[in-house]
């Protein structure tokens, strides 16, 4: 067979399988889909942050020529009686019911064959509200009189949320507590105690492809959803639950995604599209504009109070972390972010006494979810800024201080789980080496001062989660892979094909990967949290190995001698008398995991650790506060890369995205109203924001438990960027910024303040 490979497929930097479709503009996105008889939906949204709905007047909209129908939350109940969804809490109505909880929430929908007609009509809808007091700050929300949800409704899927069921008059959607050792004693005995507070701002994913879902009733008993989703299996199960149907009555399919980064997880527009198609009995397309993406999902702002006990030699003996997460009006996956990131809030350091208290709070702002790092970049920002401050205060070199305290292989981390295959020291040393850390550094002069800084972080993978894969070998020996991992640009199709090819001695290019479709591809928990390469990678490997074992069994059945090199197609012909039949291999993977106990401790917190760090050299213009990033070094432990070239682009892509979140991106609100919800006002990194030089590297490492020694990489490069830059600013000009973003205004203001304090001006 011509496709038989003589060389290793894993470790090859082959271009993405779909490269040609993407450069010719022909790659399939859900945006390209038009269904016969389809109606376009346009959404009318709340213009107040919190209020009871008194009336919704749709009469003018309904009277517009060409409008098919106008629906409100009450209409949705006709087809979905209990229309609340969400992965952690069933708290989000498909269209607002009784109350609106943020400015921008979907309240009513117009359907029309012409999208312009639907939009014009939607603009004519009027709603009247009884305004309620609103809460916007995550710390104030803890004991605010403004209550976002009168009663908490945990989804029941997560045991650690059960105690919140039915709770009334609270905005706390999860409290995670970790207690390790005796922090009180350690603080009492400490030579030094350091305490700081750090904040992060609200930013968002902003994939270039805005969110889109289409739904159609394919019979009286089945519905098909075509959606730009990172989690088709979740959508299927959640829609089936909402409808009271069996899973197999709901089909969810995706195409290539025009970016995701966490924006397209769980239910976004899918439930609305389904409700509308059931009401209208016509296919419905719900495509939102970029302005509406701003109102749909974003990233948790945080307040993080961190306190450390340190010996005079510079050893951290205790750390106490209080973290408040601003979840917005609906929990989405926020409670998971709170818990999973809670595991690592004390940083990658060997600290015997740790307390972590982490709270997810509801507020009257657009909902927050998972964004490239599941809360970790917010934490690393705080603990690596804090760590740097301690080192400076003690007069210890920041890299040396980290060396003294870093978690080494085999040592227990805050949860008690022993570190395994987490190359912190290698990552730190590589960054230091690339920055020539030990050599003298040019500090600039006059109004252009230079500085450098580092930051390293880590993350536990969400667990336990399941992936299932099927490899189907045809009678000509060619293979098709059926897996639910969604390729949104991270190159998963290519990596999965490489793993199939490796096992079956094929060329990776010859393996066909089927787009996720729940009618065809088996269950996968979702393409999120850098879990896919590890979990689905294992499932795919197992499925391919199953094919290989079945081939061997077939050879045996045919009486072929072991090791015979008879071509596969001939085996099929021998067995079936013609070119016919299949060999189908399956693989299921779920890692081990132990839920944390009452103290937040577990011996098995994660299937693998993600490790990443950054080092920067910057120049600060003291007259303007402007920062020039002259050099950015990104280093990650990704185990052994399956496709080194794609891994490198994941590292640089993650780091540049985080650069935007660090330097300028911020959603600004005035009394709950978003004031910069377009790309004209909310800037994302472009060519001019690239550092003058940037290197992206992996350290030599093996994830022993991973498929072919590999593990996930999608988020690791985001971890260290923000604190590395703040640390470099401190290094350059002696001022410390404790809130993101690090804008020229913030730098300039801090410089002015410090000049005043020092009596310089």
Q: Report the distance separating Cα 335 and Cα 164, nearest Å.
A: 11
Count CA within 13 A, CB hemisphere, residue 757: 8
657 binds other proteins, rule: CB under 8 A: yes
C-alpha dist (Å) from residue 580 to 350, 475, 476, 549, 569: 60, 5, 9, 19, 9
Residue that has been written with the tokens 């800084």 in this structure: 453
Specify the stretch interacting with other proteins by CB under 8 A; choose among 20-28, 426-434, 441-449, 589-597.
20-28
Q: Which of residues 88-127 bind ligand FES (CB under 6 A)?
A: none
**Binder of other proteins out of 102, 187, 261, 330 (CB under 8 A):** 261
Which residues make Cβ contacts (< 8 Å) with residue 446, sequence separation at least 6?
Answer: none
CB of 472 to ligand FES, least distance (A): 30
721 binds other proteins, rule: CB under 8 A: no
616 binds other proteins, rule: CB under 8 A: no
Site size toward other proteins, by CB under 8 A: 59
536 binds other proteins, rule: CB under 8 A: no
The tokens for 81 are 């009686």
Q: Report the distance separating Cα 46 and Cα 361, nearest Å.
A: 21
369 binds other proteins, rule: CB under 8 A: no
C-alpha dist (Å) from residue 59 to 95, 121, 181, 212, 255: 18, 10, 64, 27, 37
C-alpha dist (Å) from residue 52 to 96, 101, 148, 479: 10, 9, 11, 56
CB of 564 to ligand FES, least distance (A): 46
Q: Which is nearer to other proteins, 136 or 256 (CB)?
A: 256
Three-state SS annotation for 705-744: CCHHHECCCCCHHHCCHHHHHHHHHHHHHCCCCCECCCCH
Displacement of CA 281 from its chain's centroid (Å): 35
281 binds, among other proteins, ligand FES, none (CB under 5 to 8 A by kind): none
User: DSSP class of residue 361?
Assistant: E
Q: Which is nearer to other proteins, 29 or 593 (CB)?
A: 29
754 binds other proteins, rule: CB under 8 A: no
290 binds other proteins, rule: CB under 8 A: yes
The tokens for 467 are 């992936």
Q: Report the distance separating Cα 174 and Cα 159, nearest Å.
A: 12
If one counts every other C-beta atom within 10 angstroms of the C-beta of residue 514, the result is: 15
Q: Report the distance separating Cα 13 and Cα 541, nearest Å.
A: 19
CB of 635 to other proteins, least distance (A): 16
Displacement of CA 19 from its chain's centroid (Å): 24
Q: Evaluate whether 659 touches 721 at the Cβ level (below 8 Å).
A: yes
CB of 636 to ligand FES, least distance (A): 20
Q: Which of residues 185-214 bind other proteins (CB under 8 A)?
A: 205-210
Find the distance separating the first CA and the last CA of the chain, reported in whole Å. 79
Q: Report the distance separating Cα 425 and Cα 281, nearest Å.
A: 60
Three-state SS annotation for 447-515: CEEEEEEEEEEEEECCCCCCEEEEEEEECCCCEEEEECCCCCCCCHHHHHHHHHHHHHCECHHHCEEEC
**Binder of other proteins out of 20, 163, 165, 579 (CB under 8 A):** 20
| Cis peptide preceding 741, ω within 30 of 0 | yes
CB of 109 to other proteins, least distance (A): 18
Q: Which is nearer to ligand FES, 489 or 706 (CB)?
A: 489
690 binds other proteins, rule: CB under 8 A: yes
Specify the stretch interacting with other proteins by CB under 8 A; choose among 62-70, 94-102, 509-517, 751-759.
62-70
Among the listed residues 216, 384, 617, 715, the single catalytic one is 715
Length of the chain: 761
142 binds, among ligand FES, other proteins, none (CB under 5 to 8 A by kind): none
The tokens for 96 are 């607002």
Q: Report the distance separating Cα 611 and Cα 644, nearest Å.
A: 17
Q: Which of residues 300-359 bind ligand FES (CB under 6 A)?
A: none
649 binds, among ligand FES, other proteins, none (CB under 5 to 8 A by kind): other proteins
Q: Which is nearer to other proteins, 209 or 621 (CB)?
A: 209
Specify the stretch interacting with other proteins by CB under 8 A; choose among 64-72, 519-527, 579-587, 601-609.
64-72
Residue facing ligand FES at closest CB distance: 208
CB of 369 to other proteins, least distance (A): 16
Q: Report the distance separating Cα 758 and Cα 761, nearest Å.
A: 8
CB of 455 to other proteins, least distance (A): 19
Which residues make Cβ contacts (< 8 Å) with residue 373, sequence separation at least 6?
Answer: 459, 715, 718, 719
Q: Which is nearer to other proteins, 256 or 437 (CB)?
A: 256
652 binds other proteins, rule: CB under 8 A: yes
**Binder of other proteins out of 8, 23, 37, 165 (CB under 8 A):** 23
**Binder of other proteins out of 12, 16, 99, 251 (CB under 8 A):** 16
The tokens for 528 are 């999120």
208 binds ligand FES, rule: CB under 6 A: yes
CB of 718 to other proteins, least distance (A): 11
677 binds other proteins, rule: CB under 8 A: no
**Binder of ligand FES out of 342, 366, 416, 489 (CB under 6 A):** 489
- 28-66 residues labelled b (16+ CB within 10 A) or e (exposed): eebeebebeebbbbbbbbbebbbbebeebebeebeebee
**Binder of other proteins out of 237, 560, 679, 702 (CB under 8 A):** 679
CB of 259 to ligand FES, least distance (A): 5
120 binds other proteins, rule: CB under 8 A: yes
Torsion, Cα of 684, 269, 77, 129 (10° steps): 20
Site size toward ligand FES, by CB under 6 A: 3
60 binds, among other proteins, ligand FES, none (CB under 5 to 8 A by kind): none
**Binder of other proteins out of 11, 15, 412, 444 (CB under 8 A):** 15
Q: Report the distance separating Cα 151 and Cα 300, nearest Å.
A: 22
C-alpha dist (Å) from residue 109 to 122, 209, 284, 512: 7, 22, 11, 40
Residue that has been written with the tokens 């490269």 in this structure: 19
CB of 293 to ligand FES, least distance (A): 13
Which class for 487: exposed (0-12), middle (13-18), buried (19 or more C-beta within 10 A)? buried
Q: Evaluate whether 722 touches 302 at the Cβ level (below 8 Å).
A: no
CB of 273 to ligand FES, least distance (A): 23
**Binder of other proteins out of 25, 561, 577, 759 (CB under 8 A):** 25
660 binds ligand FES, rule: CB under 6 A: no
210 binds ligand FES, rule: CB under 6 A: no
Q: Report the distance separating Cα 229 and Cα 268, nearest Å.
A: 8
630 binds, among other proteins, ligand FES, none (CB under 5 to 8 A by kind): none
Q: Which of residues 251-270 bind ligand FES (CB under 6 A)?
A: 259
Specify the stretch interacting with other proteins by CB under 8 A; choose among 26-34, 376-384, 427-435, 436-444.
26-34
CB of 489 to ligand FES, least distance (A): 5
Q: Which is nearer to other proteins, 326 or 490 (CB)?
A: 490
**Binder of other proteins out of 3, 18, 426, 434 (CB under 8 A):** 18
Q: Report the distance separating Cα 459 and Cα 419, nearest Å.
A: 12
114 binds other proteins, rule: CB under 8 A: yes
Any catalytic annotation for residue 715? yes
- Which residues are near other proteins by CB under 8 A? 15-16, 18-27, 29, 31-32, 34, 64-66, 114, 116-117, 120, 205-210, 256-261, 289-290, 488-491, 645-646, 649, 652-653, 655-657, 678-680, 684-688, 690, 694
Catalytic residues: 715
- Which residues are near ligand FES by CB under 6 A? 208, 259, 489
């Amino acid at each position: 067979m011509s496709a038989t490979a003589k060389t290793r497929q894993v470790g090859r930097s082959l271009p993405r399988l779909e490269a040609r479709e993407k450069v010719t503009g022909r790659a399939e996105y859900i945006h390209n889909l038009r269904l016969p008889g389809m109606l376009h939906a346009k959404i009318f949204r709340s213009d107040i942050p919190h209020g009871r709905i008194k009336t919704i007047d749709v009469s003018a909209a309904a009277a517009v020529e060409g409008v098919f129908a106008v629906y409100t939350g009450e209409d949705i109940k006709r087809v979905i009686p209990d229309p609340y969804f969400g992965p952690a809490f069933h708290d989000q109505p498909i269209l607002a019911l009784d109350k609106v909880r943020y400015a921008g929430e979907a309240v009513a929908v117009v359907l029309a064959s012409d999208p312009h007609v639907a939009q014009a009509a939607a603009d004519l809808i009027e709603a009247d509200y009884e305004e309620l007091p609103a809460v916007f700050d995550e710390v104030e929300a803890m004991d605010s009189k403004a209550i976002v949800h009168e009663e908490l409704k945990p989804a029941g899927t997560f045991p650690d949320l059960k105690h919140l069921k039915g709770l009334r008059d609270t905005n706390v959607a999860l409290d995670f507590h970790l207690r390790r050792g005796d922090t009180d004693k350690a603080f009492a005995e400490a030579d030094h105690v350091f305490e700081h507070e750090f904040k992060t701002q609200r930013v968002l994913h902003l994939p270039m492809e805005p969110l889109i879902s289409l739904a159609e009733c394919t019979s009286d008993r089945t519905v098909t959803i075509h959606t730009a989703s990172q989690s088709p299996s979740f959508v299927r199960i959640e829609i089936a639950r909402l409808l009271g149907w069996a899973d197999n009555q709901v089909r969810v399919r995706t195409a290539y995604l025009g970016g995701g980064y966490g924006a397209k997880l769980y239910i976004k527009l899918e439930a609305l599209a389904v409700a509308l198609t059931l009401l209208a009995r016509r296919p419905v397309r719900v495509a939102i504009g970029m302005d509406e993406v701003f109102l749909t999902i974003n990233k948790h702002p945080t307040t993080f109070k961190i306190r450390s006990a340190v010996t005079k030699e510079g050893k951290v003996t205790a750390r106490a972390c209080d973290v408040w997460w601003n979840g917005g009006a609906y929990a989405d996956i926020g409670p998971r972010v709170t818990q999973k990131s809670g595991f690592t809030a004390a940083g990658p350091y060997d600290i015997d006494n740790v307390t972590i208290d982490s709270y997810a709070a509801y507020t009257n702002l657009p909902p927050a979810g998972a964004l490239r790092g599941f809360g970790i970049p917010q934490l690393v920002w705080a603990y690596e800024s804090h760590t740097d401050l301690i080192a400076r205060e003690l007069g210890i070199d920041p890299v040396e201080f980290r060396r003294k305290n870093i978690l080494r292989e085999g040592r227990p981390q805050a949860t008690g789980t022993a570190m395994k295959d987490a190359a912190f020291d290698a990552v730190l040393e590589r960054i230091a080496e690339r920055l020539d850390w030990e050599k003298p550094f040019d500090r600039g002069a006059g109004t252009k001062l230079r500085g450098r800084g580092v930051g390293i972080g880590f993350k536990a993978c969400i667990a336990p989660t399941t992936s299932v894969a099927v490899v189907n070998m045809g009678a000509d020996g060619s293979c098709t892979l059926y897996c639910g991992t969604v390729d949104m640009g991270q190159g998963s199709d290519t990596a999965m094909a490489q793993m199939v090819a490796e096992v079956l001695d094929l060329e990776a290019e010859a393996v066909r990967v089927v787009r996720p479709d729940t009618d065809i591809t088996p269950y996968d928990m979702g393409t999120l949290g850098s879990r896919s390469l590890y979990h689905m990678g294992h499932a795919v490997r197992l499925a391919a190995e199953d094919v290989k074992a079945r081939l061997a069994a077939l050879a045996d059945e045919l009486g072929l001698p072991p090791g015979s090199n008879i071509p596969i197609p001939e085996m099929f012909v021998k067995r079936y008398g013609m070119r016919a039949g299949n060999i189908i291999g399956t693989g299921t993977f779920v890692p081990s995991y132990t839920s944390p106990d009452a103290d937040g401790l577990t011996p098995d917190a994660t299937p693998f650790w993600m490790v990443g760090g950054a080092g920067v050299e910057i120049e600060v213009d003291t007259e303007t506060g402007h920062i020039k990033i002259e050099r950015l070094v990104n280093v990650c432990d990704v185990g052994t890369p399956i496709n080194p070239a794609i891994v490198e682009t994941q590292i640089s892509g993650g780091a540049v995205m985080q650069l935007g979140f660090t330097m300028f991106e911020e959603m600004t609100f005035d009394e709950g109203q978003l004031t910069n919800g377009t790309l004209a006002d909310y800037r994302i990194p472009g060519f001019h924001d690239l550092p003058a030089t940037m290197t992206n590297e992996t350290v030599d490492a093996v994830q022993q438990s991973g498929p072919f020694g590999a593990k996930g990489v999608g988020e690791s490069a985001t971890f260290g960027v923000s604190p590395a830059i703040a640390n470099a600013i401190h290094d350059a000009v002696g001022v410390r910024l404790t809130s993101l973003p690090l804008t020229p205004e913030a730098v300039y203001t801090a410089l002015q303040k410090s000049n005043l304090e020092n009596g310089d001006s």
